[in-house]
């Protein structure tokens, strides 16, 4: 089991946002607030070591973010795994008490309030705990041990492995399922239509499901 004081939250905001016209999706507004503000509010209270933001480019556009803004530590815009690597290496260097990093995308405004607790409780026999909903696994919503950073760097630099799912499958993960009722708690805002649909959703708390306990192995 991993508890709150030993978790650093990592918000992945390095996507290019092509389907939204190339904008920074976390800075889009929903109900008068940015998507990033909503993610910070929901994730921050669950991570005792605070938050970090994975984002390349000028960090000034995220002024006011309550944590470090981390550029990729490997060149080439290699995707979410590069952002995760930056977060794991930052945790190891600057948060000696942190054992795990909880990653989430920066465009998921309805994250569940029990995300860290349920993923942290599910770590038995597998190094990674992975969120799922509606029968779909969410590879960027997961709890990762800081100790994986060395193999992750080798995956990116030496093996040129950029697929999050392949990296997870090679190490094994426990999948934790959340119920989907009126809203998927892991809904991503990828298109203008998604943003419009999100604006209509009821933001009342939603019941959650049980951990599936399903191992995901290579």
* 178-214 per-position pLDDT tens digit: 999 889 999 999 888 889 889 888 444 444 444 444 4
Q: Do 188 and 111 contact (CB within 8 A), yes or no?
A: no
Q: Give the model's pLDDT for residue 213.
A: 41
Cα–Cα distances (Å) from 57 to 14, 27, 44, 76, 108, in that order, read 9, 14, 23, 13, 21
Taking only the tens place, the pLDDT of each residue in 118-138 is 999 999 889 999 999 999 999
Q: What is the pLDDT of residue 16?
A: 54
Provide the pLDDT for residue 51: 98
21 φ/ψ sector (left φ>0, alpha ψ -120 to 50, else beta): left
Return d(Cα 92, Cα 6) in angstroms, integer. Answer: 12
At 209 the pLDDT is 44
User: Residues 4, 98: contact at Cβ < 8 Å?
Assistant: no
Handedness of CA 197, 140, 39, 120 (dihedral sign): positive
Residues of the chain with pLDDT under 70: 15-22, 202-218
pLDDT of residue 217: 41
**pTM for the complete prediction?**
0.90
Predicted confidence at residue 204, as pLDDT, reads 44
pLDDT, position 212: 41
CA proximity to 134, closest of 186, 179, 173: 179
Q: What does the alpha-carbon distance between residue 10 and residue 177 come to, in Å, rounded to a whole number? A: 20
pLDDT the model gives residue 20: 57
């Amino acid at each position: 089991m991993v508890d709150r004081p030993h978790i650093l939250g990592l918000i992945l905001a390095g996507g290019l946002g092509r389907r939204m016209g190339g904008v920074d999706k976390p800075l889009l507004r929903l109900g008068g607030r940015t998507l990033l503000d909503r993610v910070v509010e929901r994730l921050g209270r669950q991570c005792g070591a605070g938050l970090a933001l994975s984002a390349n480019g000028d960090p000034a556009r995220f002024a006011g973010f309550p944590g470090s803004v981390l550029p990729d530590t490997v060149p080439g815009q290699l995707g979410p795994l590069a952002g995760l690597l930056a977060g794991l290496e930052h945790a190891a260097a600057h948060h000696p008490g942190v054992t795990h990093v909880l990653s989430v995308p920066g465009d998921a405004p309805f994250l569940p309030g029990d995300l860290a607790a349920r993923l942290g409780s599910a770590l038995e026999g597998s190094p990674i705990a992975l969120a799922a909903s509606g029968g779909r696994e969410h590879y960027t919503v997961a709890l990762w041990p800081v100790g994986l950073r060395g193999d992750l760097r080798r995956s990116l630099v030496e093996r040129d492995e950029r697929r999050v799912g392949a990296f997870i499958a090679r190490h094994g993960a426990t999948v934790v399922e959340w119920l989907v009722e009126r809203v998927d708690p892991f809904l991503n805002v990828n298109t203008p239509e998604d943003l419009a649909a999100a604006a209509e959703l009821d933001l009342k708390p939603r019941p959650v499901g049980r951990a599936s306990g399903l191992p995901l192995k290579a």
